[in-house]
Amino acid sequence: MNISPTPRVIRASNLVCGILLSGLATVQAQNDSTATPSASEHLERAFGVKGGVNWSNLRVDDVTDENARFGFHAGFFARFASKGSLGFQIEALYDQKGSTVNKTFDQIDQQYTYKFDYITVPALVVIPLGEVFELQGGAYAAYMVLSEQTMTGDLGNSSSDPDDNQYHGFDYGLVGGVGINLGMAQIGARYEHGLGEVAGNETSRRVLGNSMNSTLQVYLAVALGKRD
């Protein structure tokens, strides 16, 4: 099975890298001209860009093997907080999820690779743990903008898209993680626990059942400005 990245994914990845490198250049220029008062001050009431990598799975029952999809997420964030107190952060992200599963029907072996791309909006409560570390927790809502199914094995090949109702176009769930503040930048890790079923009809439920998304993210966020 060919799982090499498509030209569209390569272009999107290059765009993400360009945005983050530009943001890091901004951070370096501002750090060179002014001393940073604290590790978290520049992220109080700020807006900026963020992006990183995803390791996603579908929580599927009764499969002989399952492999995570490696993808990316990228987008924007806005943050509302006061020093040393609880804050609020909202984001808008392009988010790649999916999985590869091997399933056996009687004596028929089949491999299914699912690629689901979403526009995801997490809403988070920010809990500071001193100047450097913080906890983040909340919920997310997501809308599927792209789906791709690759099927190999005894049953042949097929493809589908969100318009054929094989998959639910809306997803939601819980999200939590930890961030490390570095002036105008933040690095962190986060887990998204989907609560909405992915399968949208009986055909997709034969393989996916009541499976839901499960995603681990590692990211870099860069503040581009502060809100007064």
Q: How far apart are CA 52 and CA 20, in angstroms?
A: 9
pLDDT of the chain along its 228 residues, tens only?
333 445 554 454 554 455 444 444 444 444 444 444 455 565 677 899 999 999 999 887 655 456 889 999 999 999 987 777 889 999 999 999 999 888 777 777 888 889 999 999 999 999 999 889 999 999 999 999 998 888 887 666 666 665 567 899 999 999 999 999 998 899 999 999 999 999 888 888 888 888 899 999 999 999 987 655
Q: How far apart are CA 104 and CA 19, in angstroms?
A: 43
Per the CB < 8 A criterion, the answer to whether 11 and 121 are in contact is no
Q: And the tokens for 4? A: 């090499």
Q: Which of 37, 103, 49, 105 is nearest to 76 (CA)?
A: 49
What pLDDT, on a 0 to 100 scale, did the predictor assign at position 110?
80
DSSP helix/strand/coil, 30? helix
Per the CB < 8 A criterion, the answer to whether 10 and 17 are in contact is no
Per the CB < 8 A criterion, the answer to whether 209 and 61 are in contact is yes
> What is the pTM for the complete model shown?
0.77
What pLDDT, on a 0 to 100 scale, did the predictor assign at position 144?
93
What pLDDT, on a 0 to 100 scale, did the predictor assign at position 201?
86
Burial (CB count within 10 angstroms: exposed 0-12, middle 13-18, buried 19+), residue 154? exposed
What pLDDT, on a 0 to 100 scale, did the predictor assign at position 16?
47
- Domains of the chain and any CATH numbers: 7-226 (2.40.160.20)
Q: How far apart are CA 138 and CA 90, in angstroms?
A: 10
